[in-house]
Copies of this chain bind each other. A is one copy, B any other.
Amino acid sequence: MSGQRLSNLELVALCDNYAYKGLDEGLYKLYLPNDQRPHGWLFASNVQRMPWSEDFVIDHGRRTIRLRGHANASSASTACNSAFAEVINNAIDKDIFRTLNKQHSEMFSILGANYPVQLERYAADLFGITARGAHLTVYTMTGDGMRIWVPRRSMSLFTYPGKLDTTVAGGVTAGETPMQNIIREAQEEASLPAELIEKHIRPTGVLTYISYELEKPGGMESCVVPDVIFVFDLEVDANVTPVPEDGEVKEFYLMSVDEVKEALAKEDFKTNSAVVMIDFFIRHGIITPDNEKDYVEIVQRMHRRLPFPVTPDQKI
């Protein structure tokens, strides 16, 4: 960690780091059957290594990958699900991609598909399919101002070990809503009872951005990940205390606004959780047009229009 301090715009730009012009030229576009809208972007290096089946039609000239699906499947959904599962299982068995970490993970829905399509969550990154998460910020008002519950991630986590995070966060799996996801994760990660969440939680918006990462030696593969994060607020009484439960969190701190700002500037937060915190500060009137010169640009960038559909039948 350097001694450099980052501005809020620089923090957002670390997360929304895919250029706004020109970069998509080298990427392959992923199409589902009977759908003219792309649902993902793949790096050529990953296209080369993926153990494709006959279900995928690859056009290297046009840089497109079209899913044909199993011919004798009973529906477009099962055709697509089977095709993805076969290729991904094969890639996991052969240990082709570090991103897959030799593991099967949770199932994940393709946002905006015209019929339900699922694939393994880690694999979605390789296909450049839009990820979907939910983040909950838990805070309490004291005589001395707002305090925010901030966890430090376990050192044993695969991604962002030891970084500060949103109070509760998770990837929305197939078949659950963002709200259901948060209720489940709040119990698993922070021992917060479902009744408390359900009674007082407030959905407050959604953040969208595109992250882009080039392969580093020994690291995960290059990928471009469009992301959708549903954000929620929960104000609690001073006697409510989150407690680590499933080993993903090392411990929870009750931090002042100034302490959170300091940790943000020092890049001590997980990249996208920093953006969630900045959005929280904007909505709560802590970051304002008067104290943040990049206010408009920050808000635009954390709500980036994705080049992929977010609802069925959406034109893009």
Residues of A that sit less than 8 Å from B by CB: 20, 111, 177-179, 201-206, 208, 228, 230, 282-285, 288-290, 293-297, 299-306, 310-311, 314
Known A-B contacts A20-B305, A206-B295, A296-B208; the reply to A230 vs B289 at CB < 8 A is yes
- Report yes or no: A305 in contact with B301, Cβ–Cβ below 8 A: yes
Question: Which residues on the B side are within 8 Å of A300 (C-beta)?
Answer: 208, 303-306, 310
Question: Which residues on the B side are within 8 Å of A282 (C-beta)?
Answer: 203-205
A205-B283 Cα distance, complex, nearest whole Å: 6
Copies, count: 2
A sample of 26 inter-chain contacts (CB < 8 A) reads A20-B305, A177-B289, A179-B289, A202-B285, A203-B288, A203-B290, A204-B283, A204-B284, A205-B282, A206-B289, A206-B295, A208-B296, A208-B300, A228-B296, A283-B283, A293-B311, A296-B310, A297-B310, A297-B311, A299-B303, A300-B303, A300-B304, A300-B310, A302-B303, A304-B305, A305-B305
Residue of B nearest to A314 (CB): B297
Residue of B nearest to A177 (CB): B290
- Report yes or no: A311 in contact with B296, Cβ–Cβ below 8 A: yes
Q: A208-B300, A296-B311, A302-B303 are known contacts; what are 8 more A-B pairs with Cβ within 8 Å? A: A177-B289, A179-B289, A203-B282, A203-B285, A203-B290, A208-B296, A299-B303, A305-B305
A178-B310 Cα distance, complex, nearest whole Å: 32
Residue of B nearest to A294 (CB): B311
Question: Which residues on the B side are within 8 Å of A288 (C-beta)?
Answer: 179, 203
- What's the least CB distance linking A98 to chain B, in Å? 30
- What's the least CB distance linking A225 to chain B, in Å? 16
